[in-house]
Amino acid sequence: MKEGQGQQPEVQRRKRIPHQRWWREEKQLALDRMQETADIPQLVKELGIPRRTLYCWRDEAVAKGQEGEAKLQTREQKLERELGRVKEALAERTLDIDFFKGALQKIRERRRSNSAAGESASTSKSGK
86-118 pLDDT tens trace: 999 999 999 999 999 999 999 999 999 888 766
Burial of 3 (0-12, 13-18, 19+ CB in 10 A): exposed
**pLDDT at 5 exceeding the cut of 50:** no
Q: Which residue has the higher pLDDT, 13 or 101?
A: 101
Q: Which residue has the higher pLDDT, 83 or 34?
A: 83
Burial of 111 (0-12, 13-18, 19+ CB in 10 A): middle
- Domain ranges within the chain, ordered by starting residue: 7-73, 74-118
CA–CA separation, 58 and 64 (whole Å): 10
Integer-rounded Cα radius of gyration of the chain = 29
Q: In which band, very low, low, confident or very high, does the pLDDT at 3 lie, cut at 50, 70 and 90?
A: very low
| Cβ(31)–Cβ(7) below 8 Å | no
Contacts of 26 (CB under 8 A, 6+ apart): 11
45-90 pLDDT tens trace: 888 888 898 888 888 887 777 554 445 566 778 888 899 999 999 9
pLDDT value, residue 2: 46
